[in-house]
């Protein structure tokens, strides 16, 4: 089974997890659809394999990537490991822009909706987001989302993490060409790393453990479960 098939299972699990959550998001709502989307190469491959990213859309991504855009200072699992070792995390210094995502249609719809990355799936709100306003998520949803980011990075531990505008370009290459593309983007993309710990608020630990038990039992196409892809010694840092 490929990693992208495992990713599909994670997306399916997350869709089930969200059922019953009161969300104000609706078709055509695109306030949060900006160029500030960070993804792994695994998610980028999933987008490319979907066939939804046409040559025209790919060219629009490249043109937008040539402009100033947000670059994350580190990966999610790197930040968690730094917390575990009590090291100070680097501050985000890259500018955050609010230019619309180049994959949006004129109607404010996502051209690759079925294959959209997790950052887009996780961006939801229980209240309508005014233009330039902020989304509201229940605290545990924020916790679950952060854990999902970490799990995706762990599965793609040999890949890279960064702004979708940059990572799509890397994932479109093969073999050594992919490594060379990542090297030319040094400073823009970061190397993924395995999962070491989850950072969970003390009052959510029991609920999070239940969440992880359900996720670990999610069956994959090869008879294995998602839990088989995770380390057995992960910790919870409160």
Query: Does pLDDT of 130 surpass 80?
Result: no
Query: Does pLDDT of 206 surpass 90?
Result: yes
Q: 164: closest CA among 26, 84, 72?
A: 72
Going by their DSSP bridges, the two strands 197-199 and 235-237 should be labelled as: parallel
Q: What's the predicted TM-score (pTM) here?
A: 0.94
Q: 173-193: per-residue pLDDT in tens? A: 999 999 999 999 988 999 999
End-to-end CA distance of the chain: 34
Query: Does pLDDT of 131 surpass 70?
Result: no
- The whole-chain average pLDDT of the chain stands at 92
How crowded is residue 4: how many other Cβ atoms within 10 Å of its Cβ? 18
Q: Which of the four pLDDT bands, split at 50, 70 and 90, describes residue 28?
A: confident
Give residue 197's pLDDT.
Answer: 94
Q: How far is 194 from 226, CA to CA, in rounded Å?
A: 15
What is the DSSP secondary-structure string of 98-167?
-PBPTTB-TTS-BTTGGG--HHHHH---SS---TT------HHHHHHHHHHHHHHHHHTTTSEEEEHHHH
How crowded is residue 76: how many other Cβ atoms within 10 Å of its Cβ? 25
Q: What percent of the chain clears pLDDT 70, i.e. is strictly above it? A: 97
Give residue 238's pLDDT.
Answer: 85
Q: Which of the four pLDDT bands, split at 50, 70 and 90, describes residue 156?
A: very high
Q: 64-122: per-residue pLDDT in tens? A: 999 999 999 999 999 998 988 877 767 777 878 889 999 999 999 999 999 999 999 99
Q: 162-171: per-residue pLDDT in tens? A: 999 999 999 9
Give residue 115's pLDDT.
Answer: 98
Higher pLDDT, 232 or 52: 52
Q: What tokens were used for 147?
A: 């854990």
């Amino acid at each position: 089974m490929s990693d992208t098939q495992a990713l599909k299972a994670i997306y399916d699990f997350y869709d089930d997890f969200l059922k019953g959550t009161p969300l104000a998001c609706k078709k055509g709502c695109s306030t949060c659809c900006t160029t500030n989307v960070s993804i792994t190469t695994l998610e980028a491959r999933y987008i490319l394999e979907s066939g939804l990213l046409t040559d025209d859309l790919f060219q629009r991504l490249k043109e937008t990537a040539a402009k100033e855009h947000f670059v994350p200072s580190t990966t999610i699992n790197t930040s968690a490991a730094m917390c575990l070792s009590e090291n100070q995390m680097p501050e985000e210094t890259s500018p955050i822009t609010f230019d619309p995502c180049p994959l949006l249609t004129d109607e404010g719809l996502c051209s690759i909706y079925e294959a959209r990355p997790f950052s887009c799936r996780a961006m939801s709100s229980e209240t309508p987001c005014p233009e330039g306003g902020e989304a509201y998520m229940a605290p545990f949803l924020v916790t679950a989302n952060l854990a999902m980011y970490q799990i995706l990075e762990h599965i793609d531990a040999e890949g890279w993490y960064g702004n979708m505008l940059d990572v799509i370009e890397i994932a479109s290459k093969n073999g050594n060409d992919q490594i060379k593309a990542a090297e030319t983007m040094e400073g823009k993309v970061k190397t993924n790393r395995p999962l070491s710990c989850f950072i969970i608020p003390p009052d959510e630990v029991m609920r999070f453990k239940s969440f992880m038990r359900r996720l670990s039992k999610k069956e994959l196409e090869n008879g294995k479960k998602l839990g088989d892809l995770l380390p057995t010694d992960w910790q919870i840092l409160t």
